[in-house]
Chain A
């Protein structure tokens, strides 16, 4: 997201300054080259130093010299003069073939697109057949009928390339035919032809122009190819293709002959294609939408916050203990911006810690940071992540690979996208078992079927052979859970595992988590925005806001007596079955974006209890029960009363 808008604002700034960038320089050069070609084509007779057909066998096959800048060919003709006259042939060839292609393809395409039915069917089958034959062979067959020579060969190419114009015109008509305005025009009583011309043609023009540039490039290459094999332009007429034909025959004597016509072809086609790209981009973009770049926010400098002392109580059976975690993302204006600061939490064996908060509070990022799965550019800068007594931040990439799957695993939000569509679900579980636990194929498969059975999927043997798209969302999530638990990890991170599921399925999945935890005894970090879900499954809840923890408590006290205004706001925004009638209160405003955080209490802008002291940095206080609010005592009492 950040990166994308970064590009946009960069482009806008560039345009405002009007300094030509690389693309504009290349476009200018391409245009300049084509203008030069057009000039040479028109004034070839005046510009070229010699008559392109004048032979001088005494001077045959010479290299470049002062008299003949590009040397002479096998008959002593001046290569430069022939090259210049070749421009004219190239221009004629491109113009002829492209015109024929447009005049033939567009009307037929318009007609069959508009008529539909049998006409459309028959013509499209013929087009498909023609397209399935290599283009050059189609041209060869047509030349067999018409005979060789520049104009005949160009008719052949025109017929060949008309298929793309035909399909283009037909496609546009099909799309536009159903447009409301065409139908309304018919109701008004406009004739068919009028509708075609008035309404459909303007819509064809932009893609047509792009297709023309593509065709011109293709025609130039095809003309050169046909002339090269002797079926296009006939000697002694000078075309780049025939010049290459000559060059091929005298490769052993003067290989330089092949260079000038080749370079001419390449530069011409390259220029035409580049201009085509520019046209496509500018037409494709349509009317430029004014992009107002987000003003560089940062009301307060996003200085890294000094680590605060961890007051979190230490427990004997801790599986995971995160202290002072700080995560930075690349900022749009260069540098880095913190997205998570001073996050400390711990989860004991068999315990479920809920991580709740609005979107953008950094809860998913916390889960990813623990597993070292942050996107490129995003990194943890401070703190420690102790899993089973080892700091994951100090592990090498390879050691981290060992930890993932074996010691810690993750279940993601959308089960249908977190399973690989190309493989059966069973193979994705057994793969993990084979790679991580070194089981044989057979052992892994048997264990896979057991696991699939264990997560409550009927007919496990059969379902193991199903592909993800053949399973329902709930079923796929069960599979994803089975995969995550396949190596019996001590920590399971569940990132909104029920959010993408149907409401009726959600409860089943929550029950499954509870059962599995009772059986395997893993610690669970349960990330969710849904307090009802958190209340259902979690032992303790940590509330996150704008990248930091604002409150942490056991479920019952937290619900009964929230101490942070944000928690209280979240609770009152929760729908209850009993009181549907009054509109749900919402917390006004939005979560401030990273880099836009107030220096003091980050919630202060949205808080009804804000006082002057809230503008200073607020510490997290408490050990068992933690809260980050200087008015927590007053607020807690007020809310309780």
Chain B
């Protein structure tokens, strides 16, 4: 088990490295001069040079990269050009918000997707099956933020079941937290659930035709046990393989859906960073997001290994 984790982690580290190089070099292409942003129009030539020196901008770019990376590894992503707040602090403050949305929508997508997929596979051409197919087709076409707007119109504005805007931290009140994330998570997770349902369905239909399912029936095991233990374990293997991609999509979608519900997460931070040309903040955001993606990838790799003995290092 440990071997599997270490092996997967080592495979993912180069990805983080390349992303850091890309992030750093691309954000250095930003058109605005950070020094001007800091000292404003009124600064003197002298002040300009001092700030420039302080930011280390006189040094060659590869040295600046190494310094930035060295600090980043220690958890220091520099401070915002705009208000000198630590980037790590700002990102970490917003992270639980976006993470709540992503995790809850992933949960919704997986639970509904797997349940609907299994139901559709057991009864091909039943209403569940048709619904999953139509749902997946629409899921690809409906913008999740628009779906969010409609949910707000129905459940927040008209029925007043849920708050239309805002976010309550989990630590403050779990119940209010749930109420605040449920609508955005449904808006975000529904299309993924349809996509997952379709994958589960096709995998499950294939697995149910396998010899080992018939052999398990020949052994007199109960139908329920055969479906949920023998078939589902195998059917989830290909689904888990693409799950990290789905979760990456959800993470990106969360940035936009946050805006519908006026939730201050990483999305709001990213939009502000773009508008203010805040280089360190953008760099930090990308790096943290890729870090999350890598963690998700690692988790799904491990689950994949657990479900599929052939994928384990021997």
A, B assembled together? yes
* Residues from 309 to 326 in A contacting B, C-beta threshold 8 Å: none
Given contacts A134-B289, A137-B286, A144-B277, contact A404 B220 (CB under 8 A): yes
CA distance A417 to B234 in the complex (A): 13
Given contacts A144-B30, A273-B141, A414-B211, contact A225 B152 (CB under 8 A): no
* Residues from 409 to 453 in A contacting B, C-beta threshold 8 Å: 409-410, 412, 414, 417-423, 431-432, 435-436
B212 touches A419 (CB 8 A): yes
Distance in angstroms from A258 CB to nearest chain B CB is: 4
Distance in angstroms from A96 CB to nearest chain B CB is: 19
B167: interface (CB < 8 Å): no
A130: interface (CB < 8 Å): yes
Number of A-B contacts (CB under 8 A): 213
CA distance A148 to B30 in the complex (A): 13
A 363-378 binary contact with B (CB < 8 Å = 1; else 0):
0000000010100000
A2: interface (CB < 8 Å): no
Distance in angstroms from B164 CB to nearest chain A CB is: 7
Given contacts A125-B14, A251-B149, contact A405 B143 (CB under 8 A): no
B271: interface (CB < 8 Å): yes
Label chain A's interface by main secondary structure: helix
* Residues from 287 to 314 in B contacting A, C-beta threshold 8 Å: 289-290, 293-294, 297, 307-310
Give the chain B neighbours of A128 by CB distance below 8 A: 15, 18
Give the chain A neighbours of B86 by CB distance below 8 A: none
B 200-244 binary contact with A (CB < 8 Å = 1; else 0):
000000000011101111111111010000100110010000000
Distance in angstroms from A194 CB to nearest chain B CB is: 35
* Residues from 253 to 302 in B contacting A, C-beta threshold 8 Å: 253, 255-256, 259-260, 267, 270-271, 273-274, 277, 282, 285-286, 289-290, 293-294, 297
CA distance A484 to B138 in the complex (A): 47
Partner of A229, one of B234, B251, B259, B273: B259
Report the nearest A residue to B153, measured CB to CB. A255
Report the nearest B residue to A256, measured CB to CB. B153
A266 touches B30 (CB 8 A): no
Give the chain A neighbours of B142 by CB distance below 8 A: 262, 266
* Residues from 118 to 138 in B contacting A, C-beta threshold 8 Å: 137-138
Give the chain B neighbours of A273 by CB distance below 8 A: 137, 140-141
Report, as a range, how many residues of chain A touch the other chain: 35 or more
B19: interface (CB < 8 Å): yes
Give the chain A neighbours of B270 by CB distance below 8 A: 137, 140
Report the nearest A residue to B20, measured CB to CB. A129
A244: interface (CB < 8 Å): yes
A610: interface (CB < 8 Å): no
Report the nearest A residue to B209, measured CB to CB. A375
CA distance A388 to B248 in the complex (A): 59
Given contacts A132-B290, A140-B270, A266-B142, contact A420 B230 (CB under 8 A): yes
CA distance A265 to B215 in the complex (A): 49
* Residues from 348 to 389 in A contacting B, C-beta threshold 8 Å: 371, 373
* A262, A371, A403, A483 interface centre (most CB from chain B within 10 Å): A262
CA distance A231 to B141 in the complex (A): 21
B81: interface (CB < 8 Å): no
23 CB contacts below 8 A, A to B, read: A132-B290, A134-B248, A135-B252, A137-B255, A137-B286, A140-B270, A144-B30, A217-B140, A224-B145, A228-B256, A229-B267, A231-B274, A247-B149, A251-B157, A262-B143, A262-B150, A266-B143, A269-B140, A270-B138, A420-B234, A421-B309, A422-B309, A469-B310
Known pairs A244-B145, A262-B149; list 4 more (Cβ under 8 Å). Answer: A251-B149, A258-B153, A373-B218, A432-B220
Interface residues of B (CB under 8 A from A): 14-15, 18-19, 22-23, 26-27, 29-31, 137-138, 140-143, 145-146, 149-150, 152-153, 157-158, 164, 210-212, 214-223, 225, 230, 233-234, 237, 248-249, 251-253, 255-256, 259-260, 267, 270-271, 273-274, 277, 282, 285-286, 289-290, 293-294, 297, 307-310
